[in-house]
């Protein structure tokens, strides 16, 4: 008999909201429960997708139109899905991804442009899959932006759109949590990292098969 499919979990939120730390902590928590867990990220998570990532996160904010971004993020996601996510889930492993399609819905679909219909069309043609569970880290954009830029990662193309952009993103993620209320959980990320990690672990534990 093939192994039971693993659980597919995404973490979402504005830039600097602490997703990456929380994704790592959640992976540790699942492994501590004896679950075989893959931690991955977007854009990226497979070698071709990581090459596309560099085109997206470096350079001038106006380097790409929002429409071109949708295509590039989706191309990277398709590669990630084919080579990393699907094989892991089918082998019975859990997958935690730092961002997935909700980022495209909010960044390109609701914030860079009013392009949600185009995002949905391309998603259903090329991806057609949602996480089992999505944790959206909600926090004050001013604090988050200061944190994000302080990292000075050279990957600041989206941070460089500025504070009003991050405020719009936050509202977009809150709306998305209401739209997909079954799958999405909004987490207060202004709390300390230990509290956030423990809230996330509780929600995930309740959703384990
Ligand atoms: P990420 O590596 O998660 O950056 P950070 O750790 O700063 O949150 O993502 C890189 C950037 O790409 C981030 O600013 C969000 C943006 N992005 C989109 O605009 N659309 C997408 O579909 C994805 C996956 C990311």
pTM: 0.96
Ligand 1 centroid to Cα of residue 3, in Å, is 32
Distances (CA, A) of 27 to 43, 97, 118, 120, 204: 19, 10, 33, 29, 11
Q: How far apart are CA 121 and CA 25, in angstroms?
A: 34
- Confidence check: pLDDT of 2 > 80: no
Ligand 1, residues at Cβ distance < 6 Å: 15, 19-20, 42-43, 57, 73, 98-99, 103-104, 107-108, 148, 158
Residue 153 pLDDT: 83
Residue 58 pLDDT: 93
Residue 106 pLDDT: 98
Q: How far apart are CA 69 and CA 39, in angstroms?
A: 24
pLDDT tens-digit profile of 96-125? 999 999 999 999 999 999 999 999 999 999
What ligand 1 atom has the least distance to the C-alpha of 151?
7
Over residues 18-22, the mean pLDDT reads 96
Q: Among candidates 28, 23, 2, 27, which has minimal Cα distance to 11?
A: 23
Residue 209 pLDDT: 83
Q: Which of 11, 14, 15 to mutate to test the pocket of ligand 1 (most atoms within 8 A of CB)?
A: 15
């Amino acid at each position: 008999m093939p192994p039971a499919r693993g659980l597919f979990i995404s973490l979402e939120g504005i830039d600097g909201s602490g997703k990456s730390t929380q994704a790592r902590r959640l992976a540790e928590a699942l492994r501590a429960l004896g679950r075989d867990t893959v931690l991955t990220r977007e854009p990226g998570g497979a070698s071709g997708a990581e090459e596309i990532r560099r085109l997206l996160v470096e350079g001038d904010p106006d380097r790409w139109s929002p429409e071109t971004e949708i295509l590039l993020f989706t191309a990277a996601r398709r590669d990630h899905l084919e080579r990393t996510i699907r094989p892991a889930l089918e082998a019975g492993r859990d997958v935690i991804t730092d961002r997935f399609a909700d980022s495209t819905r909010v960044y390109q679909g609701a914030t860079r442009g009013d392009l949600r219909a185009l995002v949905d069309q391309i998603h259903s043609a090329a991806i057609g899959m949602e996480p089992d569970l999505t944790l959206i880290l909600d926090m004050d954009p001013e604090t988050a932006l200061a944190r994000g830029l302080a990292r000075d990662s050279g990957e600041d193309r989206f941070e460089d759109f500025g504070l009003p952009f991050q405020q719009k993103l936050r509202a977009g993620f809150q709306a998305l949590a209401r739209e997909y209320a079954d799958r999405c959980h909004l987490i207060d990320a202004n709390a300390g990292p230990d509290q956030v990690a423990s809230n996330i672990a509780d929600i995930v534990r309740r959703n384990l098969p």
